[in-house]
């Protein structure tokens, strides 16, 4: 059992920030949680500890934005994301976490900077499907590997300029599906154990607070501010990922 008091402070903050991200406020910030927790435990253990609170958050968010999700988008992205999780399971022992951090960080930086440096035009679902399958697979893969699935799927969804409530509701169903599916490979790799479950239960009460606080902020800010903040958080997350991943080999 992890006994370092500061770990639990960081873990509680991580759960709260994740809850805000689940509600659609500050997307990109939750990715900072795993690096913070990794100061005390391995990234893999941090991932397994957070998966139960994340499922709880997804359920709360789904209830909070009940019926607002886009079914057509979900039908398209969920199967591809499951494929990404399977790829992550197969390649788990070969591809290093740091290589994924660098790749995803560079993508996040380019996407966020492009938003601010040029006028972002609306992209229809039909024209986005060509890259949508790729982002969905990458979302499942990175969600399994380094708990960063939110960034790739945002590359597909953000350009659609969906109503923020529809965006949040759709991603809630999407990540609930991913997190439930990930339980199987996590258990296979021995990451679901009593020690981690005890810590998950300790963190669980803070999950709804983060979700409802994020939902409160999301419904009270303008659409432009919502998207400006989201892309700014993508840049912050990209910088953090590149920083964490540099100076190491691409393969373990």
Between CA 80 and CA 137 the distance in angstroms is 5
| 89 belongs to a structural domain | yes
Q: At what angle do helices 5-22 and 206-218 cross, to 10 degrees?
A: 40
| 149 belongs to a structural domain | yes
Query: Which structure tokens are listed for 177?
Result: 């599906």
Q: Cβ distance 72 to 125 under 8 Å?
A: yes
Between CA 154 and CA 176 the distance in angstroms is 16
Biggest CA-to-CA distance, the chain: 51
Matching residue, tokens 């540099």 = 246
Between CA 251 and CA 188 the distance in angstroms is 22
| 250 belongs to a structural domain | no
Q: Cβ distance 48 to 16 under 8 Å?
A: no
Between CA 134 and CA 72 the distance in angstroms is 17
Q: For residue 17, what pLDDT is reported?
A: 79
| 152 belongs to a structural domain | yes
| 251 belongs to a structural domain | no
Query: Which structure tokens are listed for 108?
Result: 């996040």
Q: For residue 77, what pLDDT is reported?
A: 95
Query: Which structure tokens are listed for 53?
Result: 């609170």
| 56 belongs to a structural domain | yes
Q: Cβ distance 85 to 185 under 8 Å?
A: yes
Q: For residue 251, what pLDDT is reported?
A: 47
Sign of the four-CA dihedral 39, 44, 47, 49? negative
Q: For residue 3, what pLDDT is reported?
A: 62
At residue 149, the 3 state secondary structure works out as coil
Q: Within 13 A of 163's CA, how many CA atoms are on the CB side?
A: 8
* Residue of 175, 234, 203 whose CA lies nearest to 23: 175
pLDDT truncated to tens, each residue of the chain (252 aa)? 566 788 888 888 888 878 877 776 665 566 667 767 766 777 677 788 888 998 998 898 888 788 889 999 999 999 999 999 999 888 877 777 677 678 767 877 877 787 777 654 554 444 467 789 999 999 998 888 777 787 788 888 888 888 878 988 898 899 999 999 999 988 888 878 888 888 899 888 888 888 888 777 767 777 677 667 777 877 887 787 788 788 654 444
Full residue range of the structural domain in which residue 25 is found: 5-245
- Total domains, the chain: 1
* Residue of 180, 196, 153 whose CA lies nearest to 59: 180
| 252 belongs to a structural domain | no
């Amino acid at each position: 059992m992890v006994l370092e008091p500061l770990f639990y402070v960081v873990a509680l903050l991580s759960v709260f920030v994740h809850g805000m991200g689940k509600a659609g406020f500050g997307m990109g910030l939750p990715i900072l949680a795993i690096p913070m927790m990794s100061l005390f435990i391995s990234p893999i253990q941090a991932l397994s500890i957070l998966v139960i609170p994340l499922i709880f958050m997804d359920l709360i968010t789904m209830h909070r934005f009940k019926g607002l999700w886009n079914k057509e988008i979900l039908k398209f992205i969920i199967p591809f994301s499951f494929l990404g999780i399977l790829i992550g399971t197969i390649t788990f022992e070969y591809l290093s976490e740091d290589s994924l951090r660098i790749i995803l960080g560079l993508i996040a930086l380019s996407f966020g900077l492009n938003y601010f440096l040029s006028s972002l035009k609306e992209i229809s679902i039909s024209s986005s499907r060509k890259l949508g399958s790729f982002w969905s697979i990458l979302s499942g893969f990175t969600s399994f590997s380094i708990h960063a699935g939110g960034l790739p799927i945002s590359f597909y969804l953000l350009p659609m300029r969906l109503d923020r409530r529809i965006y949040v509701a759709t991603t809630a169903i999407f990540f609930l599906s991913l997190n439930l599916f990930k339980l199987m490979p996590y258990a296979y790799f021995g990451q679901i154990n009593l020690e981690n479950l005890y810590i998950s239960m300790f963190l669980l009460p803070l999950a709804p607070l983060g979700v409802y606080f994020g939902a409160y902020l999301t419904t009270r800010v303008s659409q432009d501010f919502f998207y400006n903040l989201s892309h700014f958080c993508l840049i912050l997350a990209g910088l953090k990922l590149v920083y964490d991943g540099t100076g190491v080999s691409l393969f373990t």
